[in-house]
Structure 1
């Protein structure tokens, strides 16, 4: 398809449905972008109004079974943008993508505006900015508050996994199950300063993923937790990784990697927040390569969080932490 042949009248914006997700992940892969295979579903379940897609009706088919919901379900998703709310006070915009055949037509901006309209002006909205576009976001889109912390993306083979801490007296690591989920949610809220019960419960139960927690033997309290998940590319995503100390973060990472072998075979993506130097040190110890540093912008204020315990954030697309 050449851009000049595309009829914009046939392009429709609508809310995401679950069957859109594989096509969105394909567009992401074509643009060298990545996300967990089930992360979109997790966040869309929590805030279904926060996800929009663009469709080309010419490339699609009338689906008589879907007439109650949409006049068309098409085969051709051509773009997406999302701004799910983490709670009533904060949302994060991401998943911003347009199929390469449809770029340059202003569709991305239309999707972005749709999400901004949905969110309104009362909520604090964040995003990870392409460094070259930072002034546009600040001056034209209202994202005037720049976080003092940036996200640093690390990627590569975790050749250094055996260099990590493998034992700590008084601490054990176990898969997150129903008996400890509530305590992990409380621990998470102590770091992010808000509760995200549904997001975490769904995250811990995503297919093709693993979630583990570090627990103190003496009092059964949580000392950290982390997840690995399969992505739309070969590499495995680590998000989040939160821990009270760098050695606990290492212990968790070692257990996660050795319980999820595709991470060791195919490589790892790690979203450090440079609020603690230890987050980057852990990635470097693993042998991962620093790929990019992403400025984080907000419309109202930098959200409060205990960044000293954040090693890798949950997702750079839908969540500030």
Structure 2
């Protein structure tokens, strides 16, 4: 008859131990956060929050906030950019439950220009000063340097007039989306082979990656030698390179990854001609099951009419046309060879 009571005592003891561990962990987190707090604020309901640097263990939650406002990013792309500039990422954290309620980042891919991305506030905390709080800390990181971003129509005036990003690049980015399955018949509308051109799958330790880095720099016109191996090496990424079989010259390269919206994300695709770019796109989609079964996103530039036509061959829908706004100057890019940008966040191309 005493067994149930003994079991209850044992269960209660275990629960008490768990509670103590949680309290110890919570207290530890509070102490760490207290040392990292950059600014504080209060929501209208009295909930306090603070702004701090983003940590890698925040990434999943940061992506959920981004997803909650209907936007996409690669599943592992933030980690790649964070490795380049870890001081450029900021989050607002509720002190009520420790959840992330706002975020932004500005990455210096090259020394003179930062590029902003993942600027978002959780829907239930919007228009309460959270966005301004993280933006303010981010701009301290940027300082007086040039900075830019892609602007949605609904935010264009705010960025241009309030944030003073007044210089608009003549080149705009066009976002395409393919929803659902891409049939073999539809995919067959693209170039599938080119005489004397070989496609090879690229890993971060392959010799050809040095050619890719060198070629990428001629297109982007700044050094992305640290970023490119990280993008290619993402665990969900597929990278293909097009090689002239006679000269062994690199003709272009492309990458495809998974995204947080359960579709594939294409980018970058840099190529020396539109037919090489289309060839790369065909094989990236064909070899990436998620792209064929669930759809994909790609972002090209409006000056590249051939590749916009390629997107229509795949029955993609045009989602947004995004102006590029900068503080002091527009970075010079070899746009004729950019068929798909790397990401909608953190990078000028």
Q: Deviations over 1:118-162 (max 9, x none)?
A: 1111x2211011223323322221211101011111001444321
Q: Distance in 1 between matches of 2:284 and 2:157?
A: 39
Q: Distance in 2 between matches of 1:221 and 1:124?
A: 35
Q: Which residue of 2 aligns with 1:47?
A: 85
1:116 aligns with 2:139: yes
Q: Distance in 1 between matches of 2:70 and 2:154?
A: 17
Given candidates 298, 302, 314, the residue that maps to 2:326 is: 298
TM-score (norm 1): 0.91
1:173 aligns with 2:199: yes
SS of corresponding position for 1:45: helix
Q: Deviations over 1:41-76 (max 9, x none)?
A: 00001100010011012103xxxxxxxxxxxxxxx1
Given candidates 167, 170, 173, the residue that maps to 1:145 is: 167
Q: Which residue of 1 aligns with 2:27?
A: none
SS of corresponding position for 2:155: helix
8 Å Cα contact 1:279/1:310 also seen in 2 = no
SS of corresponding position for 1:214: strand
1:127 aligns with 2:164: no
Q: Distance in 2 between matches of 1:308 and 1:191?
A: 9
Q: Which structure: larger Rg?
A: 2
8 Å Cα contact 1:176/1:212 also seen in 2 = yes
Q: Deviations over 1:145-197 (max 9, x none)?
A: 10101111100144432111011111111111321111000010010111101
1:188 aligns with 2:216: yes
Runs ≥4 residues deviating over 6 A: none
1:217 aligns with 2:245: yes
Please list every run of 5 or more consecutive structure 1 residues that lacks an aligned counterpart in the other structure.
Answer: 61-75
Q: Distance in 1 between matches of 2:309 and 2:132?
A: 37
1:155 aligns with 2:195: no
How many matched pairs? 301
Q: Deviations over 1:267-303 (max 9, x none)?
A: 0100111121122111111111001111110111111
8 Å Cα contact 2:152/2:320 also seen in 1 = no
Q: Which residue of 2 aligns with 1:73?
A: none
Q: Deviations over 1:201-230 (max 9, x none)?
A: 100000111111111111111111111111
Deviation (angstroms), 1:24: 1.1
Q: Distance in 1 between matches of 2:162 and 2:320?
A: 24
Please list every run of 5 or more consecutive structure 2 residues that lacks an aligned counterpart in the other structure.
Answer: 1-42
Backbone CA RMSD of aligned residues: 1.2
Structure 1 residues 172 and 126: CA distance shift in structure 2, 3 A: same
